Every structure is written in C-alpha cells, then in structure tokens.
Amino acid sequence: MPEAPALSRAAAPSISAATGNLDLIRPQPYTTWAPQVTAEERATLRRELEQGAVLYFPSLKFHFEPGEERFLDARYSDGKSKNINLRAGDTAVRGAQGTQQDLSDLYKLIRRYADSSESLIRTLFPEYIPHMTRAGTSLRPSEIAGRPVSWRKDDTRLHVDSFPSNPMLGKRLLRVFHNIDPASPRVWRVGEPFGDFAQKFVPKTHGMWPGQAALMKLLHITKRKRSEYDHRMLQLHDLAKADLDYQRDVPQQEFHFPPGSTWIVFSDQLLHAAMRGRAMMEQTIYLEPQAISDHTHSPEAVLARMLGRPMLLS
Ligand SMILES: [Fe+2]
C-alpha cells in the first residue's frame, strides 16, 4: 500500500456539500445504566444499532467519585500508550503511572465504567448476553487533535475498526463511549453506510495467498490465524484512510458529543473519525456473529454478498 500524503487539518472536511441528508445519530432518553426499557423499544434499538446507527444518550452521565477528577490530567498516562486501559479479568490497569494509591483508584474508576457499560448493554440488548464477552476498557485523557501519527493510525480519518495483529474471526466490535471531559465536546465525523463504503473499496481488496495466515501466526504478526474476513476488513480500513478524496467527498455528518454524554456503535461497521476532544472512556464488547439478527447490513453479510460466498471465519 503506498504511503498516503498527510491530511492537513485545514483540508479535513467538516459538513460539506457532500453531506446530503445523512443522519446516523439516534438520541435516546435514558438516564441510568440499567434503564427501564420496553420490548418494543429494545427491538427498535437493536434494529438501529445493527443497521449502523449511533445510539446517542445525551443524558446518560458517568459520575466521578470524589477525587477521581484528577485523572482527567494526562500526567497519569505513562506516555507510551495513548490510553490507560484495563483488560477484562485484570485487577490492575496498564499504560498508567502514579503512586500505588493512584493506580488503585484508576483501576476502581475504569472497572466501574466497565461494569456500567456492560450493565447498559445487557439491559438494552438481552439477546446479546449469551454471545457477548467483555473486552478492554480505556480512559483516554489526551487531546486528539494535533497528535502526530502515521496515516494508518490517524483516527481523524474515517475508518471502520480492524486490528492487524488481533483477528476477530467475525466477532463484532460493540463499543460504549463516554465523553468524560467536563468542558469540551467530543467531535466525530460519521460516514455513509457500510454497504455503500464496501461497494467502493471491496473490489480493490484481495484474498490471502495460500499459507499466509499460518505464516503470520508463526511469525507472531498475528495472535491467531487471520481469517479472510479479517484480511478484507483490514484492507478496507487502510483503503479508506489512504484515500483523501474519499475522506473529503463521502457523504458524512459531523457530530459534537457534549460533556457527560454516552454513545454506542458497532465500530467495525460505522465509518467514524474522532476529530477533537479530550478525556473519554470506552468499553469494548465482543459479540459472536450469530448474535446479529440483521443479515443485510453487517460487514460479514455485505462482504459475503459481494464476494459471492460466505466469509470463512477461521
Ligand atoms: Fe476507530
């Protein structure tokens, strides 16, 4: 893949003429992490989420305990990783620095966010419960804008999430975000539906050569054998980020998530770019592919349809 030129901040699109009527944000009235929801409301939430919308909870606030506000300061980050994170099942955070008390308090804060997020997902989507696994939780206390990164890691470019070394084998990436900064909005761009995006870029992707998945695992490039699904998704991630004309011209919408708001997306399906913002929290949940009831809009379904065969997930 050729190196793409840097995307200058001035050239970064906001809402352009190409925006059209794209409206992917679905505001929700809920104010607690285990709200009362009717079966009808749950069905609507699930349908919209699986179609690729952003479920947006403007009044669902995650509260600091006394003293936790100090962790809004980036000095607790160890400087090596872009976030302070907690792996599911761990009892200590990674990527942080501070006293024993600080690290212990950080664990409590991030663990509480993980528990709250999982409670929300379980309440809104009980059908997912048998198929879901809690994955990482993170606190990102640094400003996004102006961070120098390579184009491939530049999350201010629209992309779908896909990990080079961590093949998902069709597991879906369900993410719960919260803007924990008291003053600044978190500014995202979101783009056209996955099916439209795939129409443009899947023809430019290719399959793996024989033995490639085994070799990459052997060389520890990947944690497990990469599936064709992962291989194609990774190329879609890179092709979108490398194409500056696409970044500028694709139908898209800019949205400001205010302080204290929460939102849920399938980040492997929704084209998204994080443009500005300071402190945020994020919970990832892996969902087995059979959890998904919508067989029209999911990346796996779209790829299978376009390639004329089921995606091999192992
Ligand atoms: Fe992302």
How far apart are the CA of 44 and the centre of ligand 1, in A? 25
| CA atoms of 52 and 86, how far apart (whole Å) | 27
Q: What is the DSSP letter of 129?
A: G
How far apart are the CA of 159 and the centre of ligand 1, in A? 6
- Report how many domains make up the chain: 1
- Asked if 150 and 261 count as a contact pair (C-beta separation under 8 A), the reply is no
Q: For residue 226, is it within any domain? A: yes
How far apart are the CA of 293 and the centre of ligand 1, in A? 23
Structure tokens at 118: 């999982």
Q: For residue 26, is it within any domain? A: no
How far apart are the CA of 155 and the centre of ligand 1, in A? 6
- Asked if 174 and 284 count as a contact pair (C-beta separation under 8 A), the reply is yes
| CA atoms of 93 and 63, how far apart (whole Å) | 19
For 84-137, what is each residue's pLDDT tens digit?
999 999 999 999 999 999 999 999 999 999 999 999 999 999 999 999 999 999
Q: What contacts 302, CB < 8 A, 6 or more positions away?
A: 194, 195, 198
The enclosing domain of 227 has a CATH number of 2.60.120
For 185-210, what is each residue's pLDDT tens digit?
999 999 999 999 999 999 999 988 88
Q: For residue 67, is it within any domain? A: yes
How far apart are the CA of 267 and the centre of ligand 1, in A? 6
How far apart are the CA of 30 and the centre of ligand 1, in A? 25
Name residue 177's beta-bridge partners.
Answer: 263, 282
- Asked if 55 and 265 count as a contact pair (C-beta separation under 8 A), the reply is yes
How far apart are the CA of 100 and the centre of ligand 1, in A? 31
Threshold 0.85, pTM exceeds: yes
Full domain range(s) for residue 145:
36-307
Q: What contacts 91, CB < 8 A, 6 or more positions away?
A: 107
Which of 118, 81, 86 minimizes the C-alpha distance to 104? 86
| CA atoms of 154 and 44, how far apart (whole Å) | 33
| CA atoms of 262 and 240, how far apart (whole Å) | 26
How far apart are the CA of 168 and the centre of ligand 1, in A? 15
Q: Please compute the mean of the pLDDT values over residues 163-175 and round it to a whole number.
A: 88
Q: For residue 313, is it within any domain? A: no
Q: For residue 20, is it within any domain? A: no
- Grade residue 222 by pLDDT with cuts at 50, 70 and 90: confident
Which of 161, 214, 190 minimizes the C-alpha distance to 263? 190
Q: For residue 205, is it within any domain? A: yes
How far apart are the CA of 101 and the centre of ligand 1, in A? 31
